Structure 1
Amino acid sequence: MQPLVSIIIPTYNSKKYLKETVNSALNQTYKLIEIIVIDDGSTDGTETMFTNFEKQGIACYRVKNGGASSARNYGLSKANGDYIQFLDADDILHESKIEKQLQLMQLHDADICYSPWIDFKVSINDYQDEFKFSRLDHGTMRTGKELMSSFGMDNWFINTLSWLVKRDIVDKAGLWDVDIINNNDGEYFSRVLFYAIRVVCCNEHLAYYRRTPNSLGKLNSVLKIEASFNSYQKIETLLCSCNDVKLMSYPKRMYYMQYKRIKKNYPNLAKRAAKNFDRIKAPSFLSKKKYYWIFINRFGLYNGTKLYTFLQPIWGLLKRN
């Protein structure tokens, strides 16, 4: 008997994108799916699309605005699937995503499958960037904790829409944290990976991520910075229970990435991120940058970066002479 896959689509004021997103779910080559759309209190007339959606068999709900995480939790409460696909209202699935990932998961008895994706702004045919993993990754089995260690040591990540997850792993991970408005997906999928024993990669571009000017992922306010910082602390606390030094490279990387992204506009908060990077005594992908790593270890991330940056032009001048 084939398993049911639930595709959960939270939406807030994304009416202009929603039809294309829903169609990418409807047009899946794997047909045993249910599509759940949750309108998170939109003010752009999103609910006017529901009559047509419901005629196509889509379950539509309108809830009081509570944020994307709250809408996803509501979607989970309505989902009957054996597998879960989270899909934001402006992103797009390749037509064979569910079929190819599900086949690979069943072949390897995997808990989770991920795939590379393509970044775009207007059309998927006019893409900005593509994320491709090593061909060695295709079908390779890892635990969720091994994957998180790789995030820290190899400096990469996986987008939310790339995952297909077994429902029992979703249930173990619990609900999305409604108090986190930035990196809520990173915090949530850290819990998912924490419980995943078998994770497999389907190394084909099977998803399209739309980059919009108002992306929540941008750290352009104190509120977003604080929310992401709190998410890193939650992830760190979760992983500390494993007593695995290499695993701690994952939250260490996140503190570094926040430092790097906000050091110009929010120097005091950048210093806090840098101190937390220094505090975690774990390996880092930055060790591959030999001289930079020496400065960081000697002076700390914040001061070491400033000194290293200051000296770089001098070294370049000496080399030329």
Structure 2
Amino acid sequence: MLNELSVVIPAYRSEALIARTLESILQEGVLAENIIVVEDGVFDNTKATLDKYNIKHIVQAKNMGAPKARNVGLAEVKTKYVMFIDSDDFVSDKLISGLIEVANSANADIAFGPWRFDGDKMKTGTLRYPPALTSSEWVLFWLNYGVIPTCSVLWRVDSIRSICGWDERLKKNQDGEIVIRAFLNDFNIGVSTQGYSTYWQHESQHRVSDAHIIDRDFTSNIVYELIMSKAANVKQRHYSYEIGRYCCKESWMCFSNSYIEGGASWKSRAQAHGYSKKGYSLATNIFGGLFGYKFGAKVKHFLFPYFKKLIYK
């Protein structure tokens, strides 16, 4: 069963942690020949670690970003399924076999499994389990209530190729954009409760997922336009309201990072969807009520680092 799956690992300054990632994948039973590491520019001694393993190592001459690296790896995949696991994340307790089993039994195009947060200077988080939802419900869940890390997501190779893989323009939230694109294309969805992945958080200045607010806003606008153009029930009251909540959340993010033009644009969209609250959650509604929309966002942004560790418990 595990010979049906390949793992693509985008690597960027990864020498410190990639061995742990590889060992966890091999211990799950994935064949070494089906592990593809795409080094996104050579900036450290990652190669010395990779030379110890009989895996495929592709080197990009310069840093092109994680989506490009994942697509380069995807082009080399010859198996039925693929996972994209970042070089600092790892898997445990038969997560991968559970995902394959669910994908086969449900004829799924995409399957989700459990995960937890862990990382530098933070407590190990509790296990989180993906809910069983319809495609339209998944869109709203992903927008407003949480995401599932790529290390707990399995794709049918033909299916991810059918939506043209990862959007290489994106520097932020690429994993959110691609799964929403999958939901909007009515992919069959499977959910596994077996095993878990660990999504590693750290403070390195080289962390791949760090990006400026403009990069986040660029992706968020693409996601919004996708939903508005493809979601069949976008005009339904509840659905529109939840999209409005998403717009409110993006407005807060822009205002908190002093991107006033973007914040105003998202706030206008939220109101157009009938969302009139001053925040997108209990906390932001309180901050908005006490300090107003823009200043409330700034206050939350200032306080968030102090509560970040609690969020990921």
Q: Out of 215, 224, 229, which is 1:227 matched to?
A: 215
Distance apart, 1:48 and its partner CA: 2.3
Residues 249/112 of structure 1: CA separation in 2 closer, same or farther (3 Å cut): farther
Q: Out of 69, 74, 77, which is 1:76 matched to?
A: 74
- Alpha-carbon distance in structure 2 between the residues aligned to 1:284 and 1:26: 50
Contact residue 245 and residue 275 of structure 2 kept, 8 A: no
After superposition, give the CA deviation of every residue in 1:117-166 in whole Å (9 maximum; x if it has no partner): 1111159xx843235237xx4xx4x443331123346x222222111111
- Alpha-carbon distance in structure 2 between the residues aligned to 1:3 and 1:192: 24
The alignment status of 1:173 with 2:163, answered yes or no, reads: yes
The alignment status of 1:281 with 2:269, answered yes or no, reads: no
- Alpha-carbon distance in structure 2 between the residues aligned to 1:225 and 1:211: 19
> Could you tell me the TM-score, scaled by structure 2's length?
0.78
- Root-mean-square deviation (CA, aligned residues, Å) is 3.4
Which residue in the other structure is 2:119 paired with?
121
Count matched residues. 287
- Find the structure with the greater CA-based Rg: 1
Q: Out of 249, 253, 260, which is 1:257 matched to?
A: 249
What pairs up with 1:7-22 in 2 under 5 angstroms?
7-22=7-22
Distance apart, 1:265 and its partner CA: 4.0
Which residue in the other structure is 2:308 paired with?
none
Residues 233/265 of structure 1: CA separation in 2 closer, same or farther (3 Å cut): closer
Residue range with higher mean Cα deviation, 16-25 or 254-263:
254-263
Which residue in the other structure is 1:185 paired with?
175
Q: Out of 264, 274, 284, which is 1:272 matched to?
A: 264
The alignment status of 1:63 with 2:60, answered yes or no, reads: yes
Distance apart, 1:254 and its partner CA: 4.2
- Alpha-carbon distance in structure 1 between the residues aligned to 2:246 and 2:233: 17
After superposition, give the CA deviation of every residue in 1:172-209 in whole Å (9 maximum; x if it has no partner): 22132222111122112221222243212213451001
The alignment status of 1:244 with 2:233, answered yes or no, reads: yes
Residue range with higher mean Cα deviation, 182-191 or 27-36:
27-36
Q: For residue 75 of structure 2, what is the amino acid of its counterpart?
A: S
Distance apart, 1:7 and its partner CA: 0.3
- Alpha-carbon distance in structure 1 between the residues aligned to 2:295 and 2:202: 34
Distance apart, 1:109 and its partner CA: 2.0
Identity fraction in percent = 21
Q: Which runs of 5+ in 2 are unaligned?
A: 301-313
SS at match of 1:16: coil
SS at match of 2:260: helix
Q: For residue 214 of structure 2, what is the amino acid of its counterpart?
A: E
Residues 170/107 of structure 1: CA separation in 2 closer, same or farther (3 Å cut): same
Contact residue 39 and residue 60 of structure 2 kept, 8 A: yes
- Alpha-carbon distance in structure 2 between the residues aligned to 1:255 and 1:287: 9
Q: Which runs of 5+ in 1 are unaligned?
A: 310-321
Q: For residue 59 of structure 2, what is the amino acid of its counterpart?
A: R
Contact residue 241 and residue 274 of structure 2 kept, 8 A: yes
